[in-house]
Amino acid sequence: MNAPIRVTNNLEAFWMPFTANRQFKSNPRMFVAAKDMHYTTADGRQVLDGTAGLWCCNAGHGRPKITEAVQKQVAELDYAPAFQMGHPAAFELASRLVQLTPQGIDHVFFANSGSEAVDSALKIALAYHRARGEGQRFRLIGRERGYHGVGFGGISVGGIVSNRKMFGTLLTGVDHIRHTHDLTRNAFSRGLPEHGAEYAEDLERVIALHDPSTIAAVIIEPIAGSTGVLLPPKGYLERIRAICDKHGILLIFDEVITGFGRLGAPFAADYFGVTPDMMTVAKGITSGVIPMGAVFAKKEIYDAFMTGPEHLIELFHGYTYSANPVACAAALGTLDTYAEEGLLTRAADLASYWEDAVHSLKGLPHVIDIRNLGLIGAIELEPIAGQPTKRAFSAFLKAYEKGLLIRTTGDIIALSPPLIISKAQIDELITTLGDVLKALD
Ligand SMILES: Cc1ncc(COP(=O)(O)O)c(C=O)c1O
């Protein structure tokens, strides 16, 4: 028998996602291992994880409970059909999750990513209204600068221009409210910005334009992450909730990055005291170890489907890997780790230390704003004239050389370390980043 051929040093075939492929392939950055707060590079250097991977490894890396749960599950039951069949880990996980969700949100639909969770939630919203005899509610409302993954539903309600402009007409029946970013009034706010609750009134404008009776759902990120950490002004989310209630519109919080402890509470809904009708999650649900996403829905939504003959399928939607046993095991191991180490609330203890640390970068060259909440930080840089994104990307490359992983979007640096970070590691992160900023052109 021929031995399998392994080609390890050809970078051409892999078309990398959301990556400058040619730049990467001319100067690759490879991780080969990870433990706790650090990655190991192919050339043997340690890199401090300032971004929890992609906002997902909330428990840090190489955590034993998660690894063991995955190993055990894959040996015991590797796969079970997701349709018309079940397995215990899926029911256990859903039951555990609804103990964490805000009161009234008590059903879980499983997907495999944030993008799938978003598309699932949008479809459930449309089907819910139709099941109740209000099928004329077909419009979906998102927000400028919103990110809801890369499915056609997600990019349609999303508001990031470069994610939309290449991909045709997108979904019809979608509109957007304005974003809340307002550097003139809110630059260098500590925590939530004071000004801009009135931006929520833009929702009334869009609703009036289309007539409330046509609108199914509003989807927003409580904190817009991928567009560069845009925090909701004080009172804004409460106002959005009230407007949706007034018009019978479902409110979906996309908690793909804010879920699972990022703000020092299990979910942003808890942190802000605003309960949506559905929540989409992914990332932190398995601490990034195995792909998984989910929609959390209120009982009324689930119940609206539970009618008609009992042998009929109620919702014609799902994925081959919905509630995949190995992903469920990873999630259960993750929830155990979060519980044992108090990670879903740890960010609350660190938040003020983190805030001081991040804001100590004020005054460094090109820094035009710094913002923070929970264990999230963002540093907005003045773009190089005529070359947007270049300055932040060079900060990313310099940070990597100095042993720190940051994330950039546009000319904004986003920070979201694993929730296990120590104060000494926060100091190290900020010192390294300060050195990077001082050295930027
Ligand atoms: C708010 C939000 N929604 C959806 C997604 C998409 O998740 P995924 O990349 O798992 O499809 C992301 C990813 O960053 C996100 O931040």
Q: Which atom of ligand 1 is nearest to the CA of 255?
A: 1
| 150 and 50 together in one domain | no
Q: What is the Å distance from ligand 1's center to 148 Cα? A: 6
CB 226 less than 6 A from any atom of ligand 1: yes
**Percentage of residues of the chain with pLDDT beyond 90:** 98
Long-range contacts of 125-132 (CB under 8 A, 24+ apart): 125/216, 125/217, 125/250, 125/252, 125/278, 126/216, 126/217, 127/305, 127/315, 127/317, 128/216, 128/250, 128/301, 128/304, 128/305, 129/216, 129/250, 131/304, 131/305, 131/307, 132/304
Q: Does residue 6 register a pLDDT over 70?
A: no
Q: Which atom of ligand 1 is nearest to the CA of 221?
A: 1
Confirm whether 161 is domain-assigned: yes
| 298 and 346 together in one domain | no
| 425 and 292 together in one domain | no
| 200 and 213 together in one domain | yes
Q: Domain residues for 145?
A: 67-341
Confirm whether 98 is domain-assigned: yes
Q: Using pLDDT thresholds of 50, 70 and 90, give the confidence band for residue 8.
A: low
- What digits encode the pLDDT tens for the residues 159-168? 999 999 999 9
CB 114 less than 6 A from any atom of ligand 1: yes
pLDDT score, position 3:
60
Q: Using pLDDT thresholds of 50, 70 and 90, give the confidence band for residue 203.
A: very high
Q: What is the Å distance from ligand 1's center to 229 Cα? A: 13
Q: Three-state SS across 132-186?
A: CCCCCCCEEEEECCCCCCCCHHHHHHCCCHHHHCCCCCCCCCEEEECCCCCHHHH
- What digits encode the pLDDT tens for the residues 71-124? 999 999 999 999 999 999 999 999 999 999 999 999 999 999 999 999 999 999
Q: What is the Å distance from ligand 1's center to 67 Cα? A: 23
Structural domain count, the chain: 2
Query: For a substitution probing ligand 1, which of 226, 252, 321 has the most ligand atoms within 8 Å of its CB?
Result: 226
Residues 302-323, mean pLDDT to the nearest whole number: 98
CB 221 less than 6 A from any atom of ligand 1: yes
Residues contacting 99, CB < 8 A, separation 6+: none
User: Which structure tokens are listed for 100?
Assistant: 């964490």
| 308 and 167 together in one domain | yes
Q: Does residue 63 register a pLDDT over 80?
A: yes
Q: What is the Å distance from ligand 1's center to 254 Cα? A: 8
Residues 43-69, mean pLDDT to the nearest whole number: 98
Q: Which atom of ligand 1 is nearest to the CA of 282?
A: 10
Confirm whether 7 is domain-assigned: no
Confirm whether 126 is domain-assigned: yes
- The CATH number for 412's domain is 3.90.1150.10
Confirm whether 13 is domain-assigned: no
Q: Which atom of ligand 1 is nearest to the CA of 254?
A: 1
Q: Using pLDDT thresholds of 50, 70 and 90, give the confidence band for residue 5.
A: low
In the listed set 282, 313, 341, which residue is the last one of a domain according to the structure? Answer: 341
| 350 and 375 Cβ atoms separated by less than 8 Å | yes
Q: Using pLDDT thresholds of 50, 70 and 90, give the confidence band for residue 2.
A: low
The predicted model scores a pTM of 0.97
Confirm whether 346 is domain-assigned: yes
Residue with the smallest CA separation from ligand 1 atom 8 is 114
Q: Using pLDDT thresholds of 50, 70 and 90, give the confidence band for residue 170.
A: very high
Confirm whether 56 is domain-assigned: yes
CB 270 less than 6 A from any atom of ligand 1: no
| 111 and 32 together in one domain | no
Q: What is the Å distance from ligand 1's center to 278 Cα? A: 16
| 32 and 51 together in one domain | yes
Query: For a substitution probing ligand 1, which of 145, 157, 257 has the most ligand atoms within 8 Å of its CB?
Result: 257
| 58 and 71 together in one domain | no
- What digits encode the pLDDT tens for the residues 249-289? 999 999 999 999 999 999 999 999 999 999 999 999 999 99
State how far the Cα of 2 lies from the Cα of 330, in Å rounded to an integer: 35
Q: What is the Å distance from ligand 1's center to 4 Cα? A: 35
| 321 and 120 Cβ atoms separated by less than 8 Å | no
Q: Which atom of ligand 1 is nearest to the CA of 226?
A: 16
pLDDT score, position 388:
95
Q: What is the Å distance from ligand 1's center to 223 Cα? A: 12
Q: Which atom of ligand 1 is nearest to the CA of 118?
A: 4
| 71 and 54 together in one domain | no
Q: What is the Å distance from ligand 1's center to 122 Cα? A: 14
Place of tokens 């809110």: 186
| 314 and 350 together in one domain | no
pLDDT score, position 226:
94
pLDDT score, position 126:
98
Q: Using pLDDT thresholds of 50, 70 and 90, give the confidence band for residue 4.
A: low
| 124 and 272 together in one domain | yes
Q: What is the Å distance from ligand 1's center to 199 Cα? A: 24
**Percentage of residues of the chain with pLDDT beyond 70:** 98
In the listed set 281, 306, 341, which residue is the last one of a domain according to the structure? Answer: 341
Lowest mean pLDDT among 10-14, 117-121, 303-307: 10-14
Q: What is the Å distance from ligand 1's center to 428 Cα? A: 28
Query: For a substitution probing ligand 1, which of 110, 147, 179 has the most ligand atoms within 8 Å of its CB?
Result: 147
- What digits encode the pLDDT tens for the residues 314-367? 999 999 999 999 999 999 999 999 999 999 999 999 999 999 999 999 999 999
CB 412 less than 6 A from any atom of ligand 1: no
- The CATH number for 327's domain is 3.40.640.10
Q: Does residue 22 register a pLDDT over 80?
A: yes
Confirm whether 407 is domain-assigned: yes
pLDDT score, position 69:
98
Q: What is the Å distance from ligand 1's center to 256 Cα? A: 6
State how far the Cα of 375 lies from the Cα of 265, in Å rounded to an integer: 11
In the listed set 341, 361, 384, which residue is the last one of a domain according to the structure? Answer: 341
CB 256 less than 6 A from any atom of ligand 1: yes
Q: Using pLDDT thresholds of 50, 70 and 90, give the confidence band for residue 233.
A: very high
Q: Which residue has the higher pLDDT, 209 or 441?
A: 209
| 60 and 36 Cβ atoms separated by less than 8 Å | yes
| 100 and 201 together in one domain | yes
State how far the Cα of 342 lies from the Cα of 82, in Å rounded to an integer: 32
pLDDT score, position 338:
99
